[in-house]
Amino acid sequence: MIVNIDKEICTGCRMCASICPVDAIEGKQGEVQSINEDKCIICGQCIQICSAYLSEFEEDITPVDIKLKERGMLETVKEPLFAAYNMCDVQKVKKSLSNNKLHKVVQCAPAVRVALAEDFGLELGTLTDKKLAAVLRKMGFDRVYDTNFSADLTIIEESTELVNRVNEGYDLPLFTSCCPAWVKFMEREYPELLNHLSTCKSPQQMAGAIFKTYGADIDNVDSKNVFSVSVMPCTCKKYECDREEMNSGGYKDVDVVITTRELAYLIKDMGIDFKNIEEGNFDNPLGDYTGAGTIFGTTGGVMEAAIRTAYELITKESIPNIDINCVRGENGVTKSSIDVGDMKLNVAVVSGLENVVAILEDIKNNKSDLHFIEVMTCPEGCISGGGQPKVILDKHREIAYDNRKKSIYTHDSECTLRKSHENSSIKKLYEEFLGEPLKEKSHHLLHTEYASRKEKN
Catalytic positions, written as ranges: 158, 161, 178, 198, 237, 240, 245, 382
Between 78 and 456, CB nearer to ligand SF4: 456
Give every CB contact of residue 167 below 8 A, 6+ residues apart in sequence.
none
Stretch that binds ligand SF4, among 64-72, 87-95, 112-120, 377-385 (CB under 6 A): 377-385
Handedness of CA 28, 31, 33, 36 (dihedral sign): negative
Which listed residue (173, 291, 385, 437) binds ligand SF4 by CB under 6 A? Answer: 385
Stretch that binds ligand SF4, among 14-22, 134-142, 152-160, 186-194 (CB under 6 A): 14-22
**SS3 state of residue 131:** helix
Instruction: Answer yes or no whether residue 22 interacts with ligand SF4 by CB under 6 A.
Output: yes
Q: What's the CA gap between 221 and 181, in Å, rounded?
A: 33
φ, ψ of residue 3 in degrees (nearest 5): -110, 135
Give every CB contact of residue 401 below 8 A, 6+ residues apart in sequence.
379, 380, 383, 384
Minimum gap (Å) between residue 228 Cβ and ligand SF4: 18
Which listed residue (40, 105, 124, 302) binds ligand SF4 by CB under 6 A? Answer: 40
Instruction: Answer yes or no whether residue 293 interacts with ligand SF4 by CB under 6 A.
Output: no
The residues pairing with 53 across neighbouring beta strands, listed in sequence order, are: 82
Between 22 and 348, CB nearer to ligand SF4: 22
Phi-psi region of 375 (alpha: psi -120 to 50; beta: other; left: phi over 0): beta
Instruction: Answer yes or no whether residue 356 interacts with ligand SF4 by CB under 6 A.
Output: no
Q: Which residue is nearest to ligand SF4 (CB)?
A: 385
Minimum gap (Å) between residue 172 Cβ and ligand SF4: 23
Compose the 184-223 pattern: x for residues touching ligand SF4 by CB under 6 A, - for all others: ----------------------------------------
The DSSP code sequence of 54-84 is --TT--SS--HHHHHHHTT--TT--SPPBSE
Minimum gap (Å) between residue 436 Cβ and ligand SF4: 28
Task: Kindly state the helix (H) or strand (E) to which residue 44 belongs, with its residue range.
Answer: none
The residues pairing with 408 across neighbouring beta strands, listed in sequence order, are: none
Which listed residue (230, 309, 377, 420) binds ligand SF4 by CB under 6 A? Answer: 377
Q: What's the CA gap between 49 and 82, in Å, rounded?
A: 10
Q: What's the CA gap between 303 and 287, in Å, rounded?
A: 22
- Which residues bind to ligand SF4, rule: CB under 6 A? 3, 19-20, 22, 24-25, 35, 40-46, 179, 181, 233-234, 236, 376-378, 381-382, 385
